[in-house]
Chains A and B, each alone.
Chain A
């Protein structure tokens, strides 16, 4: 057993976690101003943005993967534009990051937005009355009062990105050492009937996922 664990290549795991880490950081800072605006605005466009932001929740990953494949291809306007800068998103790690940002977007947006919306409006107004800017209010008053929502957003986004399969396979393919993530590796192991390796990989994913969720709920209970 230990021999088989030792002989396993854990690079796909590392790629999965690297992808999740980068995606989570970028998404956090990308989503923060949007979530803040959404929680404050009375704009009639809000439902449209909310619906658009929630799309990855309901779309089959293959549909999202297909459109990203079309969007990233060198024949598309975006692909042609990026070619000038020698950037290729299709079947590359950068492409996986962009795809993951889109795929995991609602998992970061929704907890932060609902956390900000559930805040007592009075404390935001008191900060404005104290002559503080939106920026100061967000970082000094709003965010410190929604720590559980922030933690949920970060952990769930991370875990969701580690667990992606369909979009990653379609956009990134399965290039060893570059775009072959853990979930894709398991799929390929099953395909070649290497059940022992698939078991080890799957069990590891199971344990990690459970520990991540457990830590979230323990933190929430403590508060």
Chain B
């Protein structure tokens, strides 16, 4: 069990997270989502308690250093070590070459192992960052809008990699995202943050394969549509490929299954 009960300026968060859970945090910009992840990682200060699997990472003012927590952190801007090749980026965290090969093969990046980050595309960089985040077999994997800089196809591909890794490595994952389609596809539970406080906790029990969203608005943006969808009362904007969504009119119910395939 992971217990988080923290307070700092503009953030108050109390929640128990089960081991193996995939928790999503949503909320508007400035609602404290990223700060929450950074506090859990030990990159920002806070008061309160963070207990992970029986070990205190934070107990009032006693805070365990980042180095002594067991964290994998996937950031939006990849934050790869540009002076190291793909393989070195991963083995810098854990020198186990066999595991590095397994993890990089898992995200289809083993064949790029000798490249430097500046010779990789955004999606490839994020896959390396993902491999690097999980090679230490962290107790907690933190994902801070990890896919928001990528195009739709790459997002879908990476969502699947993350889900596969979450299961394969039996990880407990907390993901911050703006994309509700992504959240409903991946998480077991969604927490909505509003001005630094939990405003809603929702278990995702239904089958995402049959989840419907009502199309409220759509606008054309080069080769894609920006759709405004109503998913179970929560309004979200999503970018999608034009060809697939030409047929839908405002008010239509859309099967969210599209984002899973």
CA distance in complex: A120, B125 (Å): 15
CA distance in complex: A140, B92 (Å): 9
Specify which chain A residues have a CB less than 8 angstroms from the CB of B99 in the assembled complex.
none
Cross-chain contact A131 with B67 (CB below 8 angstroms): yes
Cross-chain contact B79 with A128 (CB below 8 angstroms): no
The yes or no answer to A141 lying at the interface (CB within 8 A) is: yes
Interface size on A, residues (CB 8 A): 16
Closest to A126 in B: B79
Asked whether A123 and B66 contact (CB < 8 A) given A129-B71, A130-B92, the answer is no
The yes or no answer to A122 lying at the interface (CB within 8 A) is: yes
Specify which chain A residues have a CB less than 8 angstroms from the CB of B92 in the assembled complex.
127, 130, 132, 140
> What 1/0 mask marks residues of chain B from 120 to 161 whose CB sits below 8 Å from any chain A CB?
000000000000100010000000000000000000000000
Specify which chain B residues have a CB less than 8 angstroms from the CB of A123 in the assembled complex.
79-82
CA distance in complex: A60, B136 (Å): 55
The yes or no answer to B73 lying at the interface (CB within 8 A) is: yes
Q: Select one of A133, A140, A145 contacting B82, CB under 8 A.
A: A145
Most chain B beta-carbon contacts within 10 A, residue among A122, A126, A132 = A126
Specify which chain A residues have a CB less than 8 angstroms from the CB of B82 in the assembled complex.
123, 145
Specify which chain B residues have a CB less than 8 angstroms from the CB of A126 in the assembled complex.
73, 75, 79, 81, 132
The yes or no answer to B77 lying at the interface (CB within 8 A) is: yes
Closest to B82 in A: A145
Cross-chain contact B83 with A128 (CB below 8 angstroms): no
Cross-chain contact A129 with B83 (CB below 8 angstroms): no
CA distance in complex: A132, B43 (Å): 14
Specify which chain B residues have a CB less than 8 angstroms from the CB of A125 in the assembled complex.
41, 43, 66, 73, 79
Asked whether A141 and B83 contact (CB < 8 A) given A125-B66, A125-B73, A129-B66, the answer is yes
The yes or no answer to A144 lying at the interface (CB within 8 A) is: yes
Closest to A147 in B: B83
Asked whether A122 and B67 contact (CB < 8 A) given A129-B72, A130-B93, A145-B83, the answer is no
Q: A127-B92, A144-B83 are in contact. List 10 more A-B contacts (CB 8 A).
A: A122-B75, A122-B77, A125-B73, A126-B132, A127-B81, A129-B67, A130-B136, A131-B67, A145-B82, A145-B83
What are 24 A-B pairs at a CB distance below 8 A? A122-B75, A122-B77, A122-B78, A123-B79, A123-B81, A125-B41, A125-B73, A125-B79, A126-B73, A126-B75, A126-B81, A127-B92, A128-B43, A128-B65, A129-B71, A129-B72, A130-B92, A130-B132, A131-B136, A132-B92, A140-B92, A141-B81, A144-B83, A145-B81
